[in-house]
Amino acid sequence: NAGVTQTPKFQVLKTGQSMTLQCAQDMNHNSMYWYRQDPGMGLRLIYYSASEGTTDKGEVPNGYNVSRLNKREFSLRLESAAPSQTSVYFCASSDQGALMPQHFGDGTRLSIL
Amino acid sequence: AQSVTQLDSHVSVSEGTPVLLRCNYSSSYSPSLFWYVQHPNKGLQLLLKYTSAATLVKGINGFEAEFKKSETSFHLTKPSAHMSDAAEYFCVVIAQGGSEKLVFGKGTKLTVNP
Which of B44, B48, B108 best probes binding to A when mutated, by most A CB atoms within 10 angstroms?
B44
Residues of chain A where predicted confidence (pLDDT) is lower than 50: none
| Residue B19: CA count within 13 A, CB half-sphere | 31
- pLDDT score for A26: 94
- pLDDT score for B13: 97
CA B28 to chain centre: 20
**Cβ-Cβ contacts under 8 Å for B45 (sequence gap 6 or more):** A103, A104, B36, B37, B38, B39, B60
Q: What is the interface size between A and B, counted as CB pairs within 8 Å?
A: 48
Interface contact flag, B41 A106, Cβ < 8 Å: yes
- pLDDT score for A86: 97
- pLDDT score for B53: 76
Residues of chain B positioned with their CB less than 8 A from the CB of A43: 44, 90, 104
Residue-level pLDDT, tens digit, chain B, 114 residues: 778 999 999 999 999 999 999 999 987 777 889 999 999 888 888 899 998 778 899 999 999 999 999 999 999 999 999 999 999 999 998 866 555 567 889 999 999 999
Q: Find out whether A7 and A110 touch, Cβ atoms under 8 Å.
A: no
Q: Measured between alpha carbons, how far is A26 from A73 in angstroms, rounded to an integer? A: 9
* Cβ-count burial A90-112 (b if 16+ within 10 Å, e if not): bbbbbeeebbbbbbbbbbbbbeb
Strands A10-13 and A108-112: parallel
What is the DSSP-derived secondary structure letter of residue A63? T
- pLDDT score for B24: 96
Q: Measured between alpha carbons, how far is A64 from B55 in angstroms, rounded to an integer? A: 39
What is the DSSP-derived secondary structure letter of residue A16? T
